[in-house]
Amino acid sequence: MDLALKTASTNIDYTFYTFSCGMDFDSIIDIITLLNCEVEQIILIIVPSFIFLLQEKAKTLGYDLPLHKLRYMVVGKFFPEHFRINLQHKSQILAEEPFLYSFYGSTETTTLGAESLPSICMRKVLAQNPLFAESLGFYESIPALFHFSSQDTFIEVKEEGILVTKWQSTPLFRYFLGDKVNLYAWRDLKQEFLKVAVDYDISEKLLSIIKNSSDYLPDILALEGRSDKCLILGGVNIYQDSLNTIIRSQELEDILTGIYYAKIIYHENGQQALKLALETKKTINVQREKDLYTFLIRNLCKIQTDLRED
């Protein structure tokens, strides 16, 4: 990725900087602040869970990031569409403008698919209209819609995940990804979407982008999330990075060891809850347990603002 960006920076007519700071949030914030007055736009290649962590870190350092200038290319983790919608609204970017693009793949398989503006707009509409989504067969969660972009790859969809085979005249390797994925022909999905859309009140600008898109875009890999060990609460993927940040924070270091176990539990009335088993350094009473849980959930909602929808 670094080589591709450096190549791009030498082949375009306008100023294009690239920098790589890894997970050093302080350096990322310093560079964004330094370049704020020099550039029109800053693109961050980042995992979704780090976006709000970066914003929280900037606040603690006393910086206001230029959110209206930031754009994102995200990899690595499934996220609910409300994550993007909330972030875009917070950044004061119009819903129909390019803002955050996601890629699908792994270190072993490399990139298998990428979002387009039409597929993003389609997912936004489905996320904001649950009945519309159900009419297209999306019941549990709204999948991320990636255009399949790896021509040397053969994919087999299985109940417990997908089997990826890389080809170069003969099979080079086979790799299993534990993801919930379905395949759709883009043209058929688009036509069915537009057919059903007439019965719903949908943003004309989003609808226009979908309607005017080519019928010949690559077909769709619809990713619904991990098929195992994924903390999905009300359609929101709770990231391990977020839990680590809160549970291992300075505010709790006198009480908690930082070791924990998290799972989603389901009640008979259909409600869900996040269950946390925490290792403590000292005995605490029942009321303190309740206060601690409330503290954890409130801070989790600050980091993952999409949880506020629930």
The predicted-structure confidence for 225-271, as pLDDT tens digits, reads as follows: 764 455 667 656 677 778 888 888 888 888 888 888 887 776 655 56
Residue 122, domain member (yes or no): yes
Token pair listed for 218: 């690559």
Same domain, 134 and 209: yes
Radius of gyration over alpha carbons of the chain, in Å? 21
Please tell me whether residues 223 and 282 are part of one structural domain. no
Q: How would you classify the pairing of strands 42-46 and 70-74?
A: parallel
Q: Are residues 221 and 240 in the same domain?
A: no
User: Considering the entire predicted model, what is its pTM?
Assistant: 0.74
Low-confidence stretches of the chain (pLDDT < 70) are 1-12, 14, 76, 168-172, 226-232, 234-237, 266-272, 306, 308-310
**300 lies in some domain:** yes
| Span 128-146, pLDDT tens digits | 998 999 999 888 778 999 9
Residue 294 lies in a domain: yes
pLDDT of residue 228: 46
Domain boundary among 74, 93, 120: 74
Q: Are 173 and 120 part of one and the same domain?
A: yes
pLDDT of residue 226: 63
What is the count of structural domains for the chain?
3
Q: For residue 83, is it within any domain? A: no
Q: How far is CA 291 from CA 117, 183, 206, 288, in A?
A: 43, 45, 43, 5
Q: Which domain holds residue 208?
A: 105-228
For residues 208 and 295, state if they share a domain.
Answer: no
Residue 39 and residue 148 in one domain: no
Q: How far apart are CA 47 and CA 197, in angstroms?
A: 32
* Angstrom distance (rounded) from CA 155 to CA 134: 26
* Domain boundary pick from 228, 255, 285: 228
**Same domain? 114 vs 223:** yes
* The pLDDT of residue 93: 96
Cα end-to-end span (Å), the chain: 36
Does a structural domain hold residue 82?
Answer: no
Same domain assignment for residues 4 and 67 = yes
On whether both 36 and 126 belong to a single domain, the answer is no
| Predicted pLDDT at 270 | 53
| The two three-digit tokens of residue 47, written as one number | 């995992």
Would you say residue 92 lies in a domain?
A: no
Residues 205 and 275 in one domain: no
3-state secondary structure of 115: coil
| Residues 301 and 192 grouped into a single domain | no
- Kindly state whether residue 159 falls inside one of the protein's structural domains: yes
Q: Among 228, 248, 278, identify where a domain stops.
A: 228
pLDDT at 211: 97
- Helix segments in 198-262, DSSP class H: 204-211, 240-247
Q: Are residues 218 and 252 in the same domain?
A: no
Judge whether 94 lies within some domain. Answer: no
- Say whether 102 sits in a helix, a strand or coil: strand
Both structure tokens of 162: 């997908």
